[in-house]
Structure 1
Amino acid sequence: MKKIKKLKLHNFRKFKNLEIDFDDDLNLLIGDNEAGKSSILTAIDLVLSGSRTKVENIGLENLFNKDIIREFLSSERNNNNLPKLFLELYLDEQNNDRTSGRNNSDNVECDGLRLNIFPNDEYSKYIKDILENPDCVFPFEFYTISFTTFSDISYNSFAKHLKHIFIDNSSMNNEYAMKEYVKDIYNSSLTNTLEKYKHHHQYRHHKEQFKKNVLKDLNDRIGDYNFSLKNNSKSNLDNDLTIYENEISIDNKGKGKQAIIKTELALSRNVQDLDALLIEEPENHLSHVNTRLLIEKIKDSNNKQIFITTHSNLISTRLDLRKSILLNSTDNKAIKLISLPKETAQFFIKAPDNNILEFILARKNILVEGDAEFMLIDKFSQKHLNNNLHRLEINVLSVDGTSFSHYLEIAKLLNIKTCVITDNDGQTKGEMDENFAKYASENIKVYFDVDTERRTFEICLYQDNTALCDKLFITPKRKLSIQDYMLKNKTESAYKLLLDESNIEVPTYIKDALKWISQ
Structure 2
Amino acid sequence: MATIRRLVLKNFKRFKSLELEFDPELNILVGGNEAGKSSVLQALDIVLSASRSKVESLGLETLFNAECIADFLDGERKIDDLPELLLEVYLDGIDGHHDLDGRNNSKGTDHLGIKMVCKPVDEYTKEIQAILAEKHESFPFEYYGVHFLTFTDEAIFPHKKPLKHLLIDSSQINNEYATREYTRSMYAAHATVVQRNLHGFEYRKAKSKFKDDVFKAMNEALDTYKFDVRTSPKASVETDIIITEGDIPIDSKGKGRQCFIKTEFALRNREHALDVLLLEEPENHLSHVHMHKLIERIRESVKKQLFIATHSSFIATRLNLKKVLILSEENPSRPASLKNLSQGTAEFFMKAPDNNVLELALCKKAILVEGDAEFILMDTLYRNSSEGASTNADGIHVISVDGTSFKRYLELARLLGIKVAAIRDNDGNYQANCVVNYVDFVSDSIQVFADANDARHTFEVCMYQDNKAICDDQFLAGRKTLTVEDYMLKNKTDAAFQLLEKKGADIVAPEYIQQAVAWIRA
Match of 1:170 in 2: 171
The alpha-carbon distance between structure 1 residues 129 and 497, as it changes in their structure 2 partners (threshold 3 A), is same
Match of 1:515 in 2: 518
Match of 2:161 in 1: 160
Structure 2: distance between partners of 1:431 and 1:314: 30
The answer to whether 1:267 aligns with 2:264 is: no
TM-superposed CA distance for 1:308, in Å, is 0.5
Give the partner amino acid of 1:495: F
The answer to whether 1:18 aligns with 2:18 is: yes
Give the partner amino acid of 1:47: V
Q: Gaps spanning 5+ residues in structure 1: where?
A: none
Match of 2:203 in 1: 203
Structure 2: distance between partners of 1:354 and 1:334: 23
Aligned residues of 1:365 and 1:395 also touching (Cα < 8 A):
yes
**What secondary structure does 2:167 align onto?**
strand
Structure 1: distance between partners of 2:373 and 2:273: 54
Match of 2:115 in 1: 114
Structure 2: distance between partners of 1:477 and 1:122: 90
Match of 1:77 in 2: 77
Cα deviation code 1:51-88 (max 9, x no counterpart): 11111111111100000011111111110010001111
Give the partner amino acid of 1:399: V
Match of 2:52 in 1: 52
The alpha-carbon distance between structure 1 residues 265 and 287, as it changes in their structure 2 partners (threshold 3 A), is same
Match of 2:147 in 1: 146
Structure 2: distance between partners of 1:303 and 1:168: 21
Aligned residues of 1:265 and 1:271 also touching (Cα < 8 A):
no
Match of 1:319 in 2: 319
Q: Which structure 2 residues correspond to residues 206-245 of structure 1 after superposition, within 5 A?
A: 206-245=206-245
TM-superposed CA distance for 1:382, in Å, is 2.1
What is the TM-score with the length of structure 2 in the denominator?
Answer: 0.96
Alignment size in residue pairs: 518
TM-superposed CA distance for 1:119, in Å, is 0.6
Aligned residues of 2:430 and 2:450 also touching (Cα < 8 A):
no
Structure 1: distance between partners of 2:401 and 2:224: 81
Aligned residues of 1:11 and 1:84 also touching (Cα < 8 A):
yes
**What secondary structure does 1:234 align onto?**
helix
Cα deviation code 1:323-352 (max 9, x no counterpart): 111111110121110100111111111111
**What secondary structure does 2:197 align onto?**
helix
Aligned residues of 1:166 and 1:278 also touching (Cα < 8 A):
yes
Q: Which residue of the other structure, out of 419, 423, 426, is the alignment partner of 1:417?
A: 419
Give the partner amino acid of 2:336: I
TM-superposed CA distance for 1:475, in Å, is 3.5
Aligned residues of 2:242 and 2:249 also touching (Cα < 8 A):
yes
Aligned residues of 1:85 and 1:116 also touching (Cα < 8 A):
yes
Aligned residues of 1:162 and 1:276 also touching (Cα < 8 A):
yes
**What secondary structure does 2:159 align onto?**
coil
Structure 2: distance between partners of 1:261 and 1:3: 24
Of 400-409 and 431-440, deviating more is: 431-440
Match of 1:494 in 2: 496
Aligned residues of 1:4 and 1:89 also touching (Cα < 8 A):
yes
**What secondary structure does 2:518 align onto?**
helix
Match of 1:452 in 2: 454
**What secondary structure does 1:148 align onto?**
strand
**What secondary structure does 1:265 align onto?**
helix
Structure 2: distance between partners of 1:389 and 1:475: 33
The answer to whether 1:98 aligns with 2:99 is: yes
Give the partner amino acid of 2:74: S
The answer to whether 1:379 aligns with 2:363 is: no
Structure 2: distance between partners of 1:381 and 1:339: 33
The answer to whether 1:483 aligns with 2:482 is: no
Structure 2: distance between partners of 1:431 and 1:264: 46
Aligned residues of 2:427 and 2:433 also touching (Cα < 8 A):
no
Match of 2:508 in 1: 505
Aligned residues of 2:29 and 2:325 also touching (Cα < 8 A):
yes
TM-superposed CA distance for 1:233, in Å, is 2.8
The answer to whether 1:468 aligns with 2:452 is: no
Aligned residues of 1:93 and 1:111 also touching (Cα < 8 A):
no
TM-superposed CA distance for 1:296, in Å, is 0.5
RMSD, matched Cα: 1.4
**What secondary structure does 1:98 align onto?**
helix
**What secondary structure does 1:114 align onto?**
strand
The alpha-carbon distance between structure 1 residues 305 and 93, as it changes in their structure 2 partners (threshold 3 A), is closer
Aligned residues of 2:2 and 2:91 also touching (Cα < 8 A):
yes
Structure 2: distance between partners of 1:414 and 1:304: 29
**What secondary structure does 1:420 align onto?**
strand
What is the TM-score with the length of structure 1 in the denominator?
Answer: 0.97
Give the partner amino acid of 2:121: N
**What secondary structure does 1:439 align onto?**
coil
Match of 1:359 in 2: 360
Match of 1:330 in 2: 330
Give the partner amino acid of 1:9: L
Aligned residues of 1:120 and 1:144 also touching (Cα < 8 A):
yes
Extract structure 1 runs of 4+ deviating beyond 3 A.
428-431
Aligned residues of 1:185 and 1:271 also touching (Cα < 8 A):
no
Structure 2: distance between partners of 1:36 and 1:241: 34
Give the partner amino acid of 2:276: A
Cα deviation code 1:257-313 (max 9, x no counterpart): 111110111112347242101111111111011111111111111111000111112
Structure 2: distance between partners of 1:399 and 1:139: 54
Structure 2: distance between partners of 1:264 and 1:398: 34
Aligned residues of 1:188 and 1:271 also touching (Cα < 8 A):
no
Structure 1: distance between partners of 2:136 and 2:453: 70
Give the partner amino acid of 1:357: L
| Identity of matched residues, % | 46
TM-superposed CA distance for 1:363, in Å, is 2.1
Cα deviation code 1:101-120 (max 9, x no counterpart): 11111010111111111110
The alpha-carbon distance between structure 1 residues 476 and 155, as it changes in their structure 2 partners (threshold 3 A), is closer
**What secondary structure does 1:292 align onto?**
helix
The alpha-carbon distance between structure 1 residues 476 and 82, as it changes in their structure 2 partners (threshold 3 A), is closer
Match of 1:434 in 2: 436
Structure 1: distance between partners of 2:213 and 2:271: 36
The alpha-carbon distance between structure 1 residues 229 and 425, as it changes in their structure 2 partners (threshold 3 A), is same
